[in-house]
Amino acid sequence: MQGKAPTRMKTTFSTMCTNEDYEEHEVNFMRKINFAQAINETLCQLIDKNNHVFLIGQGVTSPWYVGSTTVGLIQRFGSKRVIDTPTSENAVTGVALGAALARMHPILCFPRMDFMYYAMDQIANHIANWHYMFGGQLNTPVTLWAIINRGGEQAAQHSQAIQAIFTHIPGLKVVAPSTPYDAKGLLVTCVEEDNPVVYIDDRWLYQYEGEVPEELYSVPIGKGVVRHKGEDVTVVATSYMVHEAIKAAEQLEKEKIKTEVVDLRSLKPLDENLLLTSVKKTGRLVIADGGWKTCGITAEISARIAENDIFKSIKAPIIRVSLPDTPAPASSSLEKVYYPNAKKIMLAVKRVLEM
């Protein structure tokens, strides 16, 4: 995986959903497509493959809301399979729940993660609990596609990354892909799950390219991956911060600092074995997440280390790189300070090595 977004690669075959059937193309190993194209292709293939799968949510036919992730879907499948709804998150989430109870597999899109708060009653009190409350006799296979639209001067009500809130709710699984390959594979797994999964999608990832097979495949929930090997310090990262961590690791390598970058991919359940193995090896830990610091993903990972036997192997205090505990600013100059990046990760790594 590349540490930065490369220039878009021109391809000779369609990677976006169209009205025409997919054509067969000869490719060497895998073709490269970007993150948004991977989501689009997956949605197209899943809806085409399974009559029980449908997409629903506000703005699912509008690039202004969801970028290029749904281009062509409405033209190919029609308004009964791609349902653009009014602005009513609580009601629409109830519709998705009802459909799931009727053995459908809705993919419910929230184009601004911030407004999932309006649907919290349906998500936390109903979708997450029904399987348990009915003794496992009912399932709620809802994929909650949550899009983070950070940056771009969208300010406090359109830039929030509240993934940690959903990891706190029993009955929900939470994933956060960082590569096009995982964007496709994890989305497939989410739809195949018998119960709800929150699929975290960050628009800052949309132009990152990677190798992605054309056929459907799945990536397991709860399994992280090492993106960059090292022995001096572990950087555990999520979502777009994985790319920032790799940029930092590549720069630190020039200074003879060997940084191991762990991409969690799944926030709940966490790949605790991979996390502990890496930290035990390096003895130092920096955690990079695009959410807030207090009671966030970084806090949970820190706690997992602290309550484990490997804590005695830690050579220095854990350092967290995350959003400050303030709302997002509505100024591009302030955004540059507000959002964590590779430079902040580099400073954290150097600091932990000096302790």
Structural domains of the chain sorted by starting position, each given as residue range(s) with its CATH number in brackets: 31-212 (3.40.50.970), 225-354 (3.40.50.920)
Structure tokens that stand for 228 in this block: 């960059």
pLDDT score, position 162? 96
pTM of the model: 0.91
What are the catalytic residues? 158
The pLDDT score that the predictor gives to residue 94 is 97
Q: What is the pLDDT of residue 90?
A: 96
Mean pLDDT per block of 10 residues along the chain (355 residues) reads 33 38 43 97 98 96 91 95 95 97 96 96 97 94 96 88 97 98 98 97 96 96 98 97 98 97 98 96 97 96 94 94 95 94 98 95
pLDDT tens string 78-134? 999 999 999 999 999 999 999 999 999 999 999 999 999 999 999 999 999 999 999
Per-residue pLDDT at 151: 84
Task: Return the pLDDT at 56.
Answer: 98
According to the model, what pLDDT value does residue 4 have? 35
Q: Look at residue 13 in the predicted model and tell me its pLDDT.
A: 29
| Per-residue pLDDT at 212 | 97
